[in-house]
Amino acid sequence: MSPPESRAARLLREMRVSLVLAMPLVLSQMSSMAMNIVDTVLAGRYGPTTLAAVGVGSAVWSVVILVSIGVLMAVPPTVSQLNGARRRAEIGAVFRQALWLALALGLGLIVVVRLGALALGPMGITEEARPEAEAFLRAISWGAPGLALYFCLRNLSEGVAWTLPSMVAGLSGLGLLVPLGYLLMFGAGLGAAGLGYAVAGVLSLQALGLGLYLWRAPRFADLRLFERFDRPRWPPIRALLALGLPMGVSVFMEGSLFVATALIIGTLGTTPMAAHQIAILAASLCFMVPLGVAMATTVRVGHAVGAGDASGLRWSAAAGYSLAMLAQTLSAILLLAGGAWLAGLVSPDPAVVSLAALLMAYAAVFQYPDGFQALSAGALRGLKDTRIPMVITVLAYWGLGLPLGAWLGLSQGRGAPGLWTGLIVGLSAAAVLLGWRFWRMAYRPLRPPA
């Protein structure tokens, strides 16, 4: 008879399982960020006006991405709980209703993006950059259905704990965007509009490719995902919306916190804005690791809930927290020790490098609360607990973090460091409250998935 497994050995085993599940998700998220970098580089090579236009358009498009990600986050916990409960035969029907939701969301977001293009004038965007920004948004809007369908298909695969397709699709999209974007921008001479069409095309091809894979792969054969045509049915769609809309609000609140901070810093001058852009890019790249771990934790927690395994639920979360904190420790060391070097790679301006290095030191501090809140939010999604976390994020980010940062940065004259102090406080408040919420929920009796 083998000796009982120690708590340390159990934690290490759980961490290995979570890491295998999370690594493709981390690479997928990094490839998505790299696509934004490709957009920026191509636009910059075309000209400063195009670069400015794509920057404005990308800010509007980011709202579409946040809404799509948030609402369709309802799919992984729903699927993982059914999978854990050995009710795989029910997944196909849920998936087909999720496809209807994604299609409706994508079509609606075409309208949103085009209205955003019309709003650039009232928003005060300069007349020089506005025509190209509008053309970029009109072109990229055709990618909204592909984006929503891609997230739906990807989330289904992740929900049954198969994350490799997400990585392959993400890297393939990145590899395709470079030549297609260059061809349409420079070869066809379409400028910002060409880049918008390239992104829209890549998103549509990613959705098509992933859909074909799910249809043909033996791993998904028993799910009968495309076995028949189902008309849209309101009860299951309403259940997905009840779960997904609060997630959408939460994701949007966090994302818009950073957007609003950037806009405020933009009023302080070019040096603070340039330094902020460098520092936030470094921090965002670091965040991809805990984000991928959080997504994997959603699946593992959801599976444990479906299986009625309360102990497994808590061990899955503990493994996720351990991996996230380990990753954030390494990120904090990198940002503290290499901040000036990283900034120097981007800008030759000593003032920009100095301020960016200081902001990266602030970023090193918020690595821990940022990773902790992301993991807590992911674990709560696995429990299908989304409404209270939504309230927590609204209060922490917009009720505390942003007002405090604006007061310190503007009223108290502390500039960009003051605004980043607000980020730290907001993320810390979210980390404490979301962590408390999860561990309180984790010790409640488990209910079978609806």
Q: Are residues 287 and 313 in the same domain?
A: yes
Q: Are residues 249 and 192 in the same domain?
A: no
Contact 336, 35 (CB under 8 A): no
Contact 385, 441 (CB under 8 A): yes
Residue 294 lies in a domain: yes
Q: Are residues 183 and 299 in the same domain?
A: no
pLDDT per position in the chain (450 positions), as tens? 556 778 899 999 999 999 999 999 999 888 888 887 788 778 878 877 787 777 778 777 877 788 888 889 999 999 999 999 999 999 999 999 999 999 999 999 999 889 888 887 776 666 777 888 899 999 999 999 999 999 999 999 999 999 999 999 999 999 999 999 999 999 888 888 999 999 999 999 999 999 999 999 999 999 999 988 899 999 999 999 999 999 888 888 888 788 788 778 777 877 887 788 788 888 888 888 999 999 999 999 999 999 999 999 999 999 999 999 999 999 999 999 988 898 887 778 888 889 989 999 999 998 999 999 999 999 999 999 999 999 999 999 999 999 999 999 988 888 889 999 999 999 999 999 999 999 999 999 888 776
Helices 350-382 and 270-307: crossing angle, nearest 10°? 20
pTM of the model: 0.90
Q: Distance between CA atoms of 32 and 375, rounded to whole angstroms?
A: 20
Contact 359, 416 (CB under 8 A): yes
Q: Are residues 340 and 262 in the same domain?
A: yes
Residue 87 lies in a domain: yes
Domain boundary (211, 232, 253) is at 232
Cα 401 from chain centre = 20
Residue 9 lies in a domain: no
Q: Are residues 208 and 133 in the same domain?
A: yes
CB 344: neighbour CB atoms within 10 A? 17
Contact 196, 134 (CB under 8 A): no
217: left (phi over 0), alpha (psi -120 to 50) or beta: beta
Can you read off the two tokens belonging to residue 442? 């984790």
> Going by C-beta distance under 8 Å and a sequence separation of 6 or more, which residues neighbour residue 44?
50, 51
Q: What is the structure's pLDDT at 48?
A: 73
- Give the length of the chain: 450
Q: Are residues 227 and 316 in the same domain?
A: no
Can you read off the two tokens belonging to residue 256? 């818009």
Classify each residue of 271-285 as buried b or exposed e, where b means 16 or more C-beta atoms within 10 Å of its C-beta. Answer: bbbbbbbbbbbbbbb
Q: Distance between CA atoms of 292 and 272, rounded to whole angstroms?
A: 30
Q: What is the structure's pLDDT at 6?
A: 87
Residue 55 lies in a domain: yes
Residue 4 lies in a domain: no
Residue 240 lies in a domain: no
Q: What is the structure's pLDDT at 450?
A: 67
Q: What is the structure's pLDDT at 413?
A: 87
What is the identity of the amino acid at 6? S
Q: Distance between CA atoms of 427 and 258, rounded to whole angstroms?
A: 11
Q: Distance between CA atoms of 17 and 301, rounded to whole angstroms?
A: 12
What is the identity of the amino acid at 267? T
Q: Name the residue among 333, 331, 322 with its Cα closest to residue 293.
A: 322
Q: Are residues 205 and 254 in the same domain?
A: no
Indicate if the alpha-carbon torsion angle 60, 65, 66, 67 is positive or negative.
positive
Q: Distance between CA atoms of 119 and 325, rounded to whole angstroms?
A: 41
Domain boundary (179, 200, 232) is at 232
Q: Are residues 112 and 260 in the same domain?
A: no
Q: Distance between CA atoms of 29 and 86, rounded to whole angstroms?
A: 29
Classify each residue of 150-182 as buried b or exposed e, where b means 16 or more C-beta atoms within 10 Å of its C-beta. Answer: bbbbbbbbbbbbbbebbbbbbbbbbebbbebbb
Residue 389 lies in a domain: yes
First to last CA, the chain: 39
Contact 195, 42 (CB under 8 A): yes
Q: Are residues 223 and 249 in the same domain?
A: no
Side-chain half-sphere exposure of 120, counting CA atoms within 13 A: 28
Q: Name the residue among 98, 153, 91, 446 with its Cα closest to residue 301.
A: 446
Q: Which helix (H) or strand (E) holds 55?
A: helix 48-72
Domain boundary (176, 199, 232) is at 232
Domain that holds residue 118: 23-232
Q: What is the structure's pLDDT at 123?
A: 66
Q: Are residues 169 and 303 in the same domain?
A: no
Total domains in the chain come to: 2
- Residue in the block written with tokens 């821990």: 368
To the nearest 10°, report the CA torsion of 326, 328, 330, 332. -150
Q: What is the structure's pLDDT at 1?
A: 53
Residue 6 lies in a domain: no
Q: Are residues 77 and 225 in the same domain?
A: yes
Q: Are residues 276 and 211 in the same domain?
A: no
